[in-house]
A and B are shown apart, each in its own frame.
Chain A
Amino acid sequence: MLADEIAALLPRMRRFARALTFHREDADDVVQIAMERALGRSEQWEPGTRLDSWLFRIIKNAWIDEVRSRTRRAELFAPEEEGEHVGDDTAQAHQQRLAVQKAISLLSEEHRLVVGLVLVDGLPYKEAAEVLEIPIGTLTSRLARARDALQQLLADPTTRTR
């Protein structure tokens, strides 16, 4: 059943949404909107095409349509979120992950989308270009610029300490 296949992709959908809007509740609201749209128009998915790409496209559109202007940037790194995931893992690795998440949150929306698809989810360029509805050459150059921007943010000590 399609709903089951969609449900199986929920962890990846949540992860992609978190790359777009780091706040957990906002990201899950984006996923919930996307789930409602996907289940409501499941006949629009063409069997034989990748379900994950279709769902990511719906998430992208949901995020653009509904929520991006409302992202609570000021609360991106609320204390409750900073405290999570520290468990058995070293403080340094935890700091590194936070720095990367924070740097991604400071990217432009266009760059966050390509980073979320290719580097966070690991989609091949072809599928990522289909999600974004852009030619693969555009995807490649956009990804290269996004990586540059990300490297610069990570090299900037104020990104790490802010």
Chain B
Amino acid sequence: MRFSDETLMAYADGELDPQERAAIEEAMRDDPAIANAVANHRALRADVAAAFAGILDEPVPARLQPQVPAPAPVLSLDAARAERTAAKARRTWSWPEWGALAAMLVVGVLAGKALPGGAPAIAGNGGQVVAQGELASALDRQVGGQGNAKVKVGVSFAARDGDYCRTFVMGTSAGLACRAGGQWKIPVLSETAPEAGGGYRQAGSALPAAVLDAVDERIAGKPLDAAGEEAARARGWQAGR
């Protein structure tokens, strides 16, 4: 054979320039062995492509889409797998996730929810759940993803109705607070998932699904960057309508 197998492969893959192509096409006419080798390369390429083509038509799982805020990072497959399994099991016995309506019903329970060694952080007020104490002051003051031992404010964004909203993690609770009427109202409060084994993710990096859903429902555009948070704080989180 006048051509190396690599050259014939490159021909079958469409990698050769016109001159080389012409030389091989001429050789293929004269030598069935060359034609056969090229045909084998093409057949394998077609078979491999066909074996994976269907994946392109599969719906892309939502967890892979670029989203805001990002889901808890997958840092290792074993951990991700353990988390998936744990999440399924947890569903049946974990604390309920409170949506907006349910949150109002549990005000009585939460009114006394206090930070370790601190004053109550959440209070029922005229049928609304609002932040007070250290939670309220953290929501007022924290910017740029800083945080303290008790409260860590996560993403901040302008909601579709113009109000500013911020996610937070406080102890084992996580929620969303939206600024309205000079108060931080809390439409959603949920328990964070317990750390599964080895502490593979940073505290506060994973918000419960109920909180993420609440963010998705409200967010207009993108979350605020550090400068945006500073500017909003300077305005006292007054809606920029």
- B residues near A4, Cβ cutoff 8 Å: 66
Contact A31 B49 (CB under 8 A): no
Contact A18 B66 (CB under 8 A): no
With A100-B48, A120-B52 as contacts: A28 and B64 at CB distance below 8 Å: yes
Instruction: Using CB atoms, name the residue of chain B closest to A124.
Output: B15
- A residues near B235, Cβ cutoff 8 Å: none
- A residues near B81, Cβ cutoff 8 Å: 25
Contact A15 B56 (CB under 8 A): yes
* Alpha-carbon distance A151/B65, docked complex (angstroms): 36
Tally B residues with Cβ within 8 Å of A.
38
Contact B73 A33 (CB under 8 A): yes
Contact A15 B52 (CB under 8 A): yes
* Alpha-carbon distance A101/B50, docked complex (angstroms): 10
B233 close to chain A: CB less than 8 A: no
* Alpha-carbon distance A79/B206, docked complex (angstroms): 32
Contact A10 B74 (CB under 8 A): no
CB distance from B164 to the nearest CB of A (A): 23
Q: Is the interface of B mostly helix, strand, loop or mixed?
A: helix
CB distance from B157 to the nearest CB of A (A): 16
Contact B15 A125 (CB under 8 A): yes
With A32-B64, A100-B47, A125-B13 as contacts: A66 and B77 at CB distance below 8 Å: yes
Contact B64 A10 (CB under 8 A): yes
Interface residues of A in 106-127 (CB under 8 A from B): 115, 118-120, 122, 124-125
CB distance from B8 to the nearest CB of A (A): 9
With A36-B70, A70-B77 as contacts: A97 and B51 at CB distance below 8 Å: yes
Contact B55 A119 (CB under 8 A): no
- A residues near B10, Cβ cutoff 8 Å: 125, 140
- A residues near B76, Cβ cutoff 8 Å: 66-67, 70
Contact B74 A33 (CB under 8 A): yes
Contact A11 B55 (CB under 8 A): yes
- What is the interface of chain B, defined by CB distance below 8 A to chain A? 5-6, 9-10, 13, 15, 40-41, 44-45, 47-52, 54-58, 60-61, 63-66, 70-71, 73-78, 80-81, 84
Can you list the 4 inter-chain pairs with the closest CB atoms, starting with the nearest? Answer: A100-B51, A119-B48, A3-B66, A97-B51
